[in-house]
Amino acid sequence: MGESNEDIDQMFSNLLGEMDLLTQDLNESLNALEDQDLDALMADLVADISEAEQRTVQAQKEASLNRPPSASLEVPGFSGAASLGYGANVAATSIGQCEDDLPPPPADPMLDLPLPPPPPEPLSQEEAEAQAKADKIKLALEKLKEAKVKKLVVKVHMDDNSTKSLMVDERQLARDVLDNLFEKTHCDCNVDWCLYEIYPELQIERFFEDHENVIEVLSDWTRDTENKVLFLEKEEKYAVFKNPQLTEYHKFIPFKETQTQLLAHT
C-alpha cells in the first residue's frame, strides 16, 4: 500500500513538473516575440485599408461621371412667329432645370460592401509549438479541475422493483437527476415524478426538492446504510403548495395519515 502511494505521489510530481516546464517555455516564447513584427503587421494592415478606401472613392467618382447626360429638346428650324420659337426655348430650359434637380442615381451596392479581412499571417514554427504547449496546459488544467469534482454512483429504485445506477456529481440538483431518469426510463415526464428518500433508522420518508443537492444528502449516509432513493410518481408532491393550510397537520398527525389527508384535498 505504501509503495502504491509513493508511485502516485511520484506520478503527480512528474505531472506538475512537466506543467511547470511547459509554462516556463510558453512564457519564454511569448517574451521572445519582437515588437517590430507587430508594428510591421499593423503598418501593412493600415496600408491595405487606405488602399481599399481610395479604390472605393475612385469607383464612386467614375460612376458619377459616367452618368448619361440630360436629354436636350431640339426645336425644328422654321420661319414661324418669334413667339413660338421663344416658347420652345423656355420649355427646353425648364425641362433641363428639372432634370438637373433630380437626385443622382444610387451608388452600386457592391461598392458599399466592406472588404474581406486580410488572411491571417501564418505562424512560425516556434509560435506553433508555443501554441500547442499552451493548449496542452489548458487541457491538463481542465482535466485536473474535472477530477476534483465529487461524484457518486447512486442506485435508484423504480416502482417496478428494478434499479437504475446513475453517476451523479456535486454540481447536479435533484431536477437534473430527474431529467437523467426521464431519459433512461422513457416515462411520461409528469410533474408528479420525484426522487423519494426512505430513511428507516430515523423513520423518515420525504421528497427531494427540485433545487436540493443530491450529493450533499447522500454524503451523510453510512456505507452500510439501509436508506434508499426511489423514483416514484407521487400525486402529493405539490399538494402542500395547492393546500398550504394542511401543513399544520405535520406537527400533530403521523406522516402517512397526513399524506392521506393531503390526497383527499387535491
Q: What is the pLDDT of residue 247?
A: 58
Which residues of the chain have a pLDDT value below 70? 1-9, 12, 22-46, 48, 63-64, 66-112, 245-266
For residue 122, the one-letter residue type is: P
pLDDT tens digits along 132-158:
888 888 887 887 777 777 788 888 888
Q: What is the pLDDT of residue 49?
A: 72
Q: What is the pLDDT of residue 79?
A: 43
For residue 19, the one-letter residue type is: M
Cα distances (angstroms) measured from residue 45 to each of 39, 41, 51, 53, 261: 10, 6, 10, 13, 77
For domain 151-233, give its CATH number from 2.60.40.1220, 3.40.50.150, 3.10.20.90, 3.30.9.10.
3.10.20.90
Residue count of the chain, please give it. 266
Q: What is the pLDDT of residue 76?
A: 44
Rounded-to-integer distance, Cα 104 and Cα 107, Å: 9
Given a contact cutoff of 8 angstroms between Cβ atoms, the answer to whether 222 and 234 are in contact is: no
pTM of the model: 0.41
Given a contact cutoff of 8 angstroms between Cβ atoms, the answer to whether 209 and 245 are in contact is: no
Return left, alpha or beta for 203; rule: phi > 0 is left, psi -120 to 50 is alpha, else beta: left
Rounded-to-integer distance, Cα 108 and Cα 199, Å: 77
Q: Where are the domains of the chain?
A: 151-233
Given a contact cutoff of 8 angstroms between Cβ atoms, the answer to whether 97 and 91 are in contact is: no
